[in-house]
């Protein structure tokens, strides 16, 4: 019995002898059949009618601009003021006392604070004239591919809660990650690979694996993390002493025993996911080793990604691996780079961090474009929040940095139907707060789903008595970002 049949059987049994919650839900829907249909549709969104007849991919609600997504997560909160959002006014106010009234001032810790200018000069790159700080030497060559958005805001200035909100829509964790929702709505293009793959650092981000968890969705939709060092997946290759026929026979027997166990415990998605994971792992043995093996890439490609260079090797490998995973049919890949929390020595810290990701990201964009993948691949670059235009001084005034800022942050997109070569939205004259085309992060999530052909209001899952969605309670598409 498959998961949909199991869900159908449980729902039918519940309708015969409804619980109080189920009875109330049935009354609210008007008809028991409507409730049952809704629950089944939530369990299998691809079975629900598409919103438009032009849908070209099973499970989409409208014709998608992108088929896959690559999310470059800069954990720690990159400073928009030192990367993509130049503020000449800060040059004029540098080291002056920070006296701006309002929310930011009330949140200040004790002690004097001062405006700080960016230690970096900015350049206008490409025919579009998009502004980037000078350390982005390689990415500047791809300025005309970027859609830089300056209007996003979040709710928290604490790293764990902000990471959770960026990745799941919920500050407090426990909800499905964006990649899980995409995996749930669209599935993988390759049955031999997971639909959602994560490339973390050796130390997980603040909040841990909950940043790519499945939450209340069935467990099979959670992200699959690949190890940052050593073998990306342990025990991927079977022991030489085990013949393929014997392994297949063992798995068949295990599958029968597990299925019998599952049949006695209907609705346990964790058990169902575990059963399916054995089969997926078996299929992965035939395809994953080749996908993860970078030895097949020529030296020119490795050099382009900065592989072999101590400054760029780690993230270069992630970017190249991400391209190979996307090319092989993985629907959603998230690659992490960390340590962007520059409270001091921002010139040294951000300078080194930009250098570590600049060449790999530029090579990735060029590689995707050369292979004809960028148009149908949505690339997202962001951290969990932005930074403030001020900070306290330490070390004789030579070590200034920036604090956390939820009201102004910068992210950029490339490919996937976004408006290339444009800056959208703006922050105020000192970069303290977004003031044009301002949208909460939930609207960014809704826009991401929209580009992938999914409608946040229709991509729902029935849990705890109601239909839940990524945006929590609805949002809007940021039309200005769309090509």
CB 444 within 8 A of CB 376: no
Tell me which residue of 389, 407, 404, 395 sits closest to 341, measured CA to CA. Answer: 404
**Residue 324: what are its φ and ψ, rounded to 5°?**
-65, -40
Q: Where are the domains of the chain?
A: 1-43, 58-231+299-481
What was the pLDDT predicted at 69? 98
Q: What is the pLDDT of residues 416-445, one digit of tens each?
A: 999 999 999 999 999 999 999 999 999 999
Q: What pTM, to 2 d.p., does this model score?
A: 0.81
pLDDT of residue 205 exceeding 50: yes
Q: In the chain, pLDDT over 90 holds for what percent of residues? A: 64
pLDDT of residue 15 exceeding 70: no
> Where residue 57 falls among pLDDT bands split at 50, 70, 90?
very low
Chain mean pLDDT for the chain: 84
What was the pLDDT predicted at 472? 94
Q: Identify which has the larger pLDDT, 328 or 5.
A: 328
What was the pLDDT predicted at 111? 57
Q: What is the mean pLDDT of residues 90-94?
A: 93
Q: What is the mean pLDDT of residues 223-241?
A: 75
CATH class, domain 58-231+299-481, is: alpha beta
Least trusted range by pLDDT, from 7-21, 49-63, 216-230, 447-461: 7-21
> Where residue 8 falls among pLDDT bands split at 50, 70, 90?
very low
């Amino acid at each position: 019995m498959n998961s949909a049949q199991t869900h159908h059987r449980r729902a039918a049994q519940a309708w015969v002898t409804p619980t109080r919650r189920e009875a109330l839900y049935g009354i609210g829907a008007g008809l028991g059949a409507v409730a049952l249909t809704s629950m089944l549709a939530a369990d299998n969104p691809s079975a629900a009618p598409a919103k438009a007849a032009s849908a070209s991919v099973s499970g989409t609600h409208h014709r998608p601009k992108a088929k896959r997504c690559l999310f470059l997560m800069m954990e720690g909160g990159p400073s928009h003021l030192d990367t993509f959002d130049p503020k000449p006014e800060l040059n004029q106010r540098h080291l002056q006392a920070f006296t701006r009234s309002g929310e930011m001032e009330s949140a200040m810790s004790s002690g004097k604070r001062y405006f700080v200018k960016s230690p970096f000069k900015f350049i206008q790159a490409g025919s579009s004239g998009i502004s980037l700080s000078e350390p982005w030497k390689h990415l500047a060559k791809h300025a005309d591919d970027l859609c830089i958005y300056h209007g996003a805001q979040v709710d928290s200035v604490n790293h764990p809660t902000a990471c959770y909100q960026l990745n799941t829509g919920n500050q407090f964790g426990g909800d499905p990650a964006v990649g899980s929702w995409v995996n749930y709505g669209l599935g993988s293009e390759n049955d031999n690979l997971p639909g959602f793959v994560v490339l973390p650092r050796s130390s997980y981000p603040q909040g841990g694996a909950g940043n790519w968890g499945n939450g209340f969705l069935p467990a099979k939709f959670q992200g699959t993390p690949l190890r940052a060092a050593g073998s990306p997946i342990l025990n991927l290759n079977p022991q030489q002493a085990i013949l393929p026929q014997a392994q297949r026979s063992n798995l068949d027997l295990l599958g029968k025993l597990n299925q019998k166990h599952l049949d006695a415990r209907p609705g346990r998605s964790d058990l169902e996911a575990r059963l399916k994971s054995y089969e997926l792992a078996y299929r992965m043995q035939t395809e994953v080793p080749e996908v993860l093996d970078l030895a097949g890439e020529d030296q020119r490609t490795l050099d382009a990604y900065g592989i072999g260079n101590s400054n760029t090797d780690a993230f270069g490998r992630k970017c190249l691996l991400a391209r190979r995973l996307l090319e092989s049919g993985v629907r959603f890949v998230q690659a992490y780079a960390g340590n962007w929390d520059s409270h001091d020595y921002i010139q040294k810290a951000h300078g080194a961090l930009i250098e570590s990701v600049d060449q790999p990201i530029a090579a990735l964009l060029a590689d995707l474009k050369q292979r004809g993948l960028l148009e149908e691949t949505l690339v997202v670059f962001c951290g969990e929040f932005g930074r403030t235009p001020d900070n306290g001084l330490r070390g004789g005034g030579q070590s200034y940095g920036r604090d956390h800022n939820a009201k102004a942050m910068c992210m950029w997109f490339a490919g996937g139907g976004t408006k290339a070569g444009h800056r959208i939205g703006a922050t105020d004259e000192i970069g303290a707060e977004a003031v044009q085309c301002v949208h909460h992060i939930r609207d960014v999530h809704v826009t991401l789903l929209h580009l992938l052909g999914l409608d946040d209001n229709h991509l729902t899952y029935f849990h705890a008595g109601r239909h839940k969605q990524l945006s929590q309670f609805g949002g809007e598409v940021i039309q200005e970002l769309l090509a």
